Every structure is written in structure tokens, then in C-alpha cells.
Amino acid sequence: MRHVIALDVGGTAIKAALIGPDHELLHEARRPTGRERGPDAVIAGILDFAAELAATGEAAFGEPAAAAGIAVPGIVDAAAGTAVYAANLGWRDVPLRDLLSRHLGGTPVALGHDVRTGGLAEGRIGAGEGTDRFLFVALGTGIAGAIGVEGRIEAGAHGGAGEIGHIRVRPGSGPDARPCGCGGRGCLETFASAAAVSRAWAEASGDPDADAADCARAVDAGDPRARAVWQEAVDALADGLVVAHTLLDPRTLIVGGGLAEAGETLFAPLRAAITERITFQQLPRIVPAALGDTAGCLGAGLLAWDLLTTHLTEVSA
């Protein structure tokens, strides 16, 4: 049976799968990324994991994998096949596509950015299935996005398109000018990421272990302090999304990541806040992501299958 190898490399775990032609997950596995062992050991671990999957697939399906796809965090040059920079893995200019292809005996490999790859899957076979233009936004430790146009993801000239988390939503000085990991201040992700909401709720509730999910539960229970924390995040998120929406005019806005797991506790006020802010723009369909944490693997599988057709999925300069 024809199949591809898919790998989704995260800061803590590598998720992997063998995927069939109709996106079916034929086999799934995961193991720790092991970043404490250093950047080179992480790469060696990925190559070994992929080789084990290749052997598993060949034994189970009677033929070698037709291709492989791999999604990684940080700055990715998909056209060159290079992981340009990944702060939490310690990578700089790793030619991962060619390393993996060589390790798999010449199997064709596609490399993608983690959020854009997950967005590709959500747009094509997940929450945005059938939509021609979408914006996917992941609210996790940080905030990142993917711009979907006609079945592919826009990567930008330098692999930086879709970085909605670094739109400055709260200019000015004082407590609103929160420093961001990117070097800027007042960025969206310092207000509306799951990590930002966790921090704000830990402070407001006085419980250092309280997180964004606890905050959502407290919102549902009617806690006014939680409602204030939540609304601040929703307002910042709506401000950032309206900027992106005004530029891109997507038909569907797909919101995923840890914070989106709050469901209507997030989506109801978010729809209201966006509706309140737009004037001439057409309101997009605003929907939760559908694929959960398999989106990255499914997207890596799409990248691999796309290698076997002429379909372009990520355009770089």
C-alpha cells in the first residue's frame, strides 16, 4: 500500500505517523524530542525515528514509503529545505530535508514550518475543508498563523508570513508595553496566548499554578476577576485578528491551540468582539480547529503527498 512518513517535531515531543493516500493514519508513534541532549542529538534522534518508521511501513505494507514530510518550529526555508533557526532546539541552518532524504536512502522529503503545516491540514482536510481562503491562528505558548490561499500556504519572501502573534496591539508605555520574546513590545502574543492568559490568571487569582484552562472554568463559573483577565485577552485577540482580516479578507478564520480548547467560552466573546470592530469588512466564518494535535502530522503527510504531484503547497522566494 502506498504511504508516506510524517514527522511533527515539537519542543517536547516528536509525533510521527504513516499516512495513506486519503489522509488515513495507518500508524502513529511519538517520543520525547530530548532537547536537553543538545541540537545534534535531536537531529540524530529524528533521523533514527524516521528510519524506524520506514522499516515499520515497509514491513506492514510491502513497499517503501513514497515520500516523507517533516514539520519543525522556528524559522523555516521550505524551498531550501533548511531549518534556519529554532531557539528552543538550538538549531541554526540545519539542512534537514537533505539529511533526512539521505538517511532514508534517497526518499523524497518535504520540510515545513510547524504552524503553517498544521494550518495546511486544517485548511485542506480539517475545519476549513472546502474553503479557498483562510487564516489559521494557533493560540499556544505563543501565537502564530498560517495564511491559506487556494490550497496552499503563503510562506512569504523570507519564510515569515503569518506571524500574527507579533502584531503590536498595545502600543505605548507603562504596563501595556509588555516585552515580547521577539524583542518588541505590546505584541499580541503577550496578551492572548495560552501562556499569557495563564500568567495573568495566576497573578489575578493568587494561585501560581493556575493556568488558562482554570481561568476559562472560572469565567464559566462567573468569577469577575477571571472575566476581566479573559476579556483583556479576547479584546487583544480581536484587535490583532481584525488587522489580519482587513489585510487578507479570509473566508474562514480557524482558531486552534490550547486556548481554543475553551470552546464557546472563547468563541462567543471573540465573535462578538470581532463583529463590534469591523466596519466595511465581511465577517469571516470563525471556527475552532478540528484536528487537534494531529494537525502537524497530517500536514506533514500532505507536504509529502504533494511532493508526488505537481501541487505547490508552500511558496517561497
Interface ranges with Zn ion (CB under 5 A)? 166, 180, 182, 184, 187
E-only strand ranges, 159-288: 252-256, 285-288
Minimum separation from the CB atom of position 76 to Zn ion (A): 18
Q: Are 185 and 164 in contact (CB under 8 A)?
A: no
Closest CB to Zn ion among 116 and 166?
166
Look up residue 22 and give its amino acid.
D
Query: Rounded to 5 degrees, what angle do the CA atoms 96, 102, 105 make?
Result: 140
Closest CB to Zn ion among 4 and 236?
236
Closest CB to Zn ion among 198 and 294?
198
Closest CB to Zn ion among 170 and 245?
170
Minimum separation from the CB atom of position 240 to Zn ion (A): 11
The secondary structure of 48-111, three-state, reads HHHHHHHHHHHHHHCCCCCCEEEEECCEEECCCCEEEEECCCCEEEECHHHHHHHHCCCCCEEE
What separation, in Å, do the N-terminal and C-terminal C-alpha atoms of the chain show? 35
Closest CB to Zn ion among 180 and 200?
180
Closest CB to Zn ion among 142 and 250?
142
Minimum separation from the CB atom of position 290 to Zn ion (A): 28
Pairing label, strands 4-9, 68-72: parallel
CA gyration radius, the chain:
20
Minimum separation from the CB atom of position 187 to Zn ion (A): 3
Minimum separation from the CB atom of position 182 to Zn ion (A): 3
Minimum separation from the CB atom of position 142 to Zn ion (A): 8
Q: Are 278 and 242 in contact (CB under 8 A)?
A: yes
**Integer Cα distance of 145 and 35 in angstroms:** 24
